[in-house]
Structure 1
Amino acid sequence: MSRRWRRWRVLARTSRRGSLSLRLRLMLGATCLAILFMLALLPVLQAAFSLAFERVIEERLAADANTLITASHLENGRLVMPDRLPDEEFNLPNAKLLGYIFDPQGKRLWQSRSAEDESIDYQPRPGGDLTEFKRVRDADGLEYFVYDVELRLTDEPRQAFSFVTMQPTSEYRSLFEEFRQQLYLWLGGGLLVLLTLLWLGLTWGFRSLRRLSHELDQVESGRLDRLSEQHPKELLRLTRSLNRLLVGERRQREQYRNSLGDLAHSLKTPLTVLQSVGEVMSAQPGNREQARVMHAQIERMSQQIGYQLQRASLGQSGLVRHRVPLHPLLVRLCSTLDKVYQDKRVQIDLQLPQDATLPLEQGALMELLGNLLENAYRLCLYQVRVSLKQDADRLWLSIEDDGPGVPVDQRARILRRGERLDAQHPGQGIGLAVVKDILDSYGGELRLDDSSLGGAAFRLSLPID
């Protein structure tokens, strides 16, 4: 059940996790799609602009060709043009607009003053009533737009003249380059605005997930019993499922603990009866050895039952997380142990912040610290130290004493269930095993080292989250 809760919790928290957040993934995906769309749109816009601009140039050259046609007339079968044309660009030597007239054989009959210094070897294509718009290059490699219209000025089919107007493409290229730069700027600015709006939209849209995550944090910390119904309809099924899981887990855990309590209570009576029978048997001289063995086995059974009950009930719960203040709990435990070991006058040194907490349940933490502190009080000479440190992702709690310590070759053995290094004191050696089981259920670790005080140092590590 707890694994299922953790999976739900990870899914609900993905909206605020660094590079793995759902919002960031959507943003990166949308950015990639927007960039690909802009890259695909860029050549389309450039081609559309080029086509539209060429159409404008074609219409302008066609109008200039009509000017030549209107100004021309035949006298005695010869083509005659006025000295000056209505369009002044034809009359200026350095103008960009060029005009030519060719006879049906392709011989140049007339050229505008603006074309006198140009060396363009252009030959029209005869065919009758033919209109062309194309590009040509002169002897120097300069490119021109050419509009060529073939027109018969008389009824004779052989009197078809070609009226040609030209314009350099350099002006078109400079305008196209300027348009392309402006297009880059506008598309880049549009992309930034789009991504900004998209980020704001995702931020607004993920408010529901952040609210759900906040409620999950409150449920984990015990401030809420269930998730609210104030969520979008797409999340209501999830929240209702989580609430059912939460109620079911709470009910199951309560029944489990009640059943364990009933089991422990029901086992106490037969064990007490067996112990009374053992005491009666020990009164008879011939049964003392059997009574001693029975008493030892009853004591072993009692401790093993206690150990298994503690192991089953002190594990980590599913969704609800607990953080227990450490300092007041240590003060209470040490006060109790001071009374038990008052002859030693143990000096306890607590090196931890007043507001330090550990992510364990109250009962589990009491059992864990009680076993380790009782072990330190029992084996120390007169000094015990408890310290707490934290690194990037773990908490480290150390309980040290100035006792005889533990040989290196014996450290792994005493951490196993039922093993004891101190054979002079009664017990079955299950205290450290309980500690280790509790830590395992919370993802922690137990390590045994040498202490700077001269004795043993039990070091506990727990994940922060």
Structure 2
Amino acid sequence: MIRSLRVRLMLAAAVLAVLFMLALLPALQKAFSLALQESIEQRLASDVTTLISAARIENGQLQMPALLPDERFNLPYTGLLGYIFDRSGHLVWQSRATAAQNINYQPRYDGRGNEFARIHQANGEEFFVYDVEIKLLGGKSAAFSIVALQPVRDYQRTLDGLREKLYLGFGAALLALLALLWAGLTWGLRSLRRLSRELDDLESGARDGLSTQHPRELLRLTGSLNRLLQSEREQRQRYRDSLDDLAHSLKTPLAVLQGVGESLQQHNGEREQARVLQSQIERMSQQIDYQLQRASLRKSGLVRHSVVLRPLLDSLCSTLAKVYRDKHVEVTLQVPDQARVPVEQGALLELLGNLLENAYRLSLGQIRVSLFREAGRLTLCIEDDGPGVPADQRQRILERGERLDSQHPGQGIGLAVVKDIIDSYDAELSLDDSTLGGAAFRITFNLE
């Protein structure tokens, strides 16, 4: 499938141009043929006029001079063929060039005056014939058919030469037309390329909206996109504000309930109820954090973000190394310095933070983070040397809302947020065994 608009338009224009020329060629050839035949007819008529002017009637007999005014009639190999027939169709005179010809022609003296025709001989040769009926010669009564002939092969050679030149001319004209069409399409689609560059800048975050420096046919589109962008920004801001308000309004009653629970724990008879209350409060707090993170880390529908990965990894690993300083974890980063990941920075921090925290917590002392690209796909892999995940549990872990470790309540929410972020960016999350001995989380982004 051809995905280039310019190539599509060029092919369509080329096909139309070729079809037009193919339709025009027969018409031009016909016009050339008719014009050439008309020229031949005029020349033969002139030859007949020469014969008529030289003919005389003496004593009722046709007399022709030994030398005609047109020297071509006097030479045997000029190809100028002239005949004179009487009323009965008997040949009474012929030019010297006819001596080498054996032409079978019988005039019809029927009062039609003159006739231009094309005759075929038994040997396959063809001739153009111009036949004029004469009733007066030099003011005297006469009845003759004066005929001039020309071989068709001369006409055919001329027509073939014209046809060859016509093909060459049309071929050159087609190439020139295609070049002009390509240049015209390149110039005409320049505004679309400029719009494409602006969209690229918009997706990368280099600009906030599309400019108005476009043809009026595109202004409605760019205006609609700008309104959509502004609406999306406003909606996202209102969404964030509402989430902040919700978090603030829920944290206050949860803090009150937390205080009530702590007070109940001081009474021996109510410690079990206090434990249950604390557990439910903690669960509610985790669910609130999960839903807030899940809602706020969605990617934009129109803007594509990309973040340099290495600085974020360095920062997160430095922080987690302090948290798990007793483990002395060694982290190997196989990531190019300027490699970028197509994820918003906040979402990428949340994703890496959860996966690296899980790796630090479960590892025995080694973690490896690698990034590689192949066949239009970018794969981020986080591995550890911990206990790993049993093969029969991997599918369940990767399902939405499932927890990796039920003994640590915070981890289930973290992995759920990771899964939501990956899904929102149309990426894929897989879990395999690592060569380090533990688990290997692989995140694959489709770059096409």
Of 389, 402, 405 in structure 2, the residue corresponding to residue 422 of structure 1 is: 405
Task: Confirm whether residue 127 of structure 1 aligns to residue 110 of structure 2.
Answer: yes
Alpha-carbon distance between aligned partners in 2 of 1:240 and 1:287, rounded to the nearest angstrom = 65
- CA distance in 2: counterparts of 1:399 and 1:126, whole angstroms: 108
Using the size of structure 1 for normalisation, the TM-score is 0.93
Matched, 1:224 2:207: yes
Query: For residue 316 of structure 1, what is the amino acid of its counterpart?
Result: K
Residue 195 in structure 1 maps to residue 172 in structure 2: no
1:31 aligns with 2:11: no
Q: 2:60 aligns with which of 56, 74, 77?
A: 77
**Secondary structure at 2:412's aligned position in 1?**
coil
Shift of 1:156: 11
Amino acid in structure 2 at the alignment position of 1:64: D
Deviation at residue 427 of structure 1 after TM alignment: 2.9
| Aligned partner of residue 8 in structure 2, secondary structure | helix
Match of 2:247 in 1: 264
> 1 CA distance for matches of 2:62 and 2:433?
118
Look up the match of 1:56.
39
In the alignment, which residue of structure 1 is the partner of 2:333?
350
Asked if 1:459 corresponds to 2:442, the answer is yes
Report whether the alignment pairs 1:440 with 2:412. Answer: no
Q: Does 1:378 align with 2:361?
A: yes
Would you say the 8 A contact 2:362–2:386 is kept in 1?
A: yes
* Residue in structure 2 matching 1:293, options 276, 288, 298: 276
More displaced stretch, 417-426 vs 101-110: 417-426
Which one-letter code corresponds to 2:18 in the other structure?
Answer: I
For residues 98-117 of structure 1, the aligned pairs below 5 Å read 98-117=81-100
Inter-partner Cα distance in structure 2 for 1:301 and 1:141? 106
Closer/same/farther in 2, CA of residues 315 and 401 from structure 1, 3 Å limit: same
2:324 aligns with one of 334, 337, 341: 341
Between 425-434 and 93-102, report the one with greater CA deviation: 425-434
What do residues 176-222 of structure 1 show as CA deviations (whole Å, max 9, x unaligned)?
A: 11111111111111111111111111111112111112122222222
Once the two structures are overlaid, the 10-residue window that deviates more, 42-51 or 415-424, is 415-424
Do the aligned residues in 2 keep the contact of 1:65 with 1:165 (CA within 8 Å)?
A: yes
Q: 1:150 aligns with which of 105, 130, 133?
A: 133
Q: 1:233: Cα distance to partner?
A: 2.0
C-alpha spacing 1:236/1:420, structure 2 compared with 1 (3 Å): closer
* Structure 2 counterpart SS, 1:429: helix
Q: State whether structure 2 residue 160 is matched by structure 1 residue 206.
A: no
Q: Is the aligned partner of 1:20 residue 2:3?
A: yes
3-state SS of 1:153 partner: strand
In structure 2, the partner of 1:326 is 309
State the one-letter code of the partner of 2:130.
Y
Partner residue in 2 for 1:42: 25
Which runs of 5 or more residues in structure 2 are unaligned?
none
Q: In 1, Cα distance between the equivalents of 2:399 and 2:97? A: 106
What is the deviation of 1:86? 1.6
SS of alignment partner, residue 83 of structure 1: coil
Residue 137 of structure 1 deviates from its aligned partner by: 2.0
CA–CA distance in structure 2, aligned partners of residues 418 and 209 of structure 1: 44
Write the distance in 2 (CA, Å) between the matches of 1:157 and 1:293.
144
Which moves more between the two structures, 414-423 or 149-158? Answer: 149-158
* 1:430 match: secondary structure: helix
Query: Structure 1, residues 32-81: CA drift from partner, whole Å, max 9, x if none?
Result: 11111110110111001000000000000000001111111111111111
Name the SS of the counterpart of 1:133 in structure 2. strand
Q: 2: CA distance between counterparts of 1:130 and 1:420?
A: 111
Q: Is the 8 A contact 1:129 1:151 kept in 2?
A: no
The AA in structure 1 aligned to 2:239 is Y
The structural deviation recorded for 1:360 is: 0.8
- Deviation for aligned residue 1:153: 2.3
CA distance in 1, matches of 2:140, 2:256: 137
Q: 1 CA distance for matches of 2:323 and 2:412? A: 19
Change (3 A) 1:186 1:157: same
Task: Report what 2:262 is aligned to.
Answer: 279
Opposite residue 79 of structure 1, the aligned amino acid is L
Question: Which residue of 2 is the match for residue 65 of structure 1?
Answer: 48
1:92 equivalent in structure 2: 75
* 1:421 positional shift: 4.2
Instruction: Provide Cα deviations, 1:101-153, integer angstroms capped at 9, x if missing partner.
Output: 11111111111110012111101122125211111122321111110111112
Between the aligned partners of 2:298 and 2:264, the Cα distance in structure 1 is 40
Deviation at 1:353, TM superposition (A): 0.4
How does the TM-score come out when normalised to structure 2? 0.96
Partners of 2:403 and 2:49 lie apart in 1 by 115
Structure 1 residue 155 displacement after superposition:
11
Structure 1 CA distance for aligned equivalents of residues 233 and 152 of structure 2: 82
8 Å Cα contact 2:52/2:137 also seen in 1: no
Counterpart Cα distance in 1 of 2:400 and 2:186: 52
**Alpha-carbon distance in 1 for matches of 2:19, 2:302:** 43
1:312 match: 295
Aligned match of 1:167: 150
Q: Tell me by how many angstroms 1:424 deviates.
A: 3.9
CA deviation after TM superposition for structure 1 residue 418, in Å: 4.1
Paired with 1:213 and 1:102, the residues of 2 have a C-alpha distance of: 83
Q: How many residues align?
A: 448
| C-alpha spacing 1:422/1:174, structure 2 compared with 1 (3 Å) | same
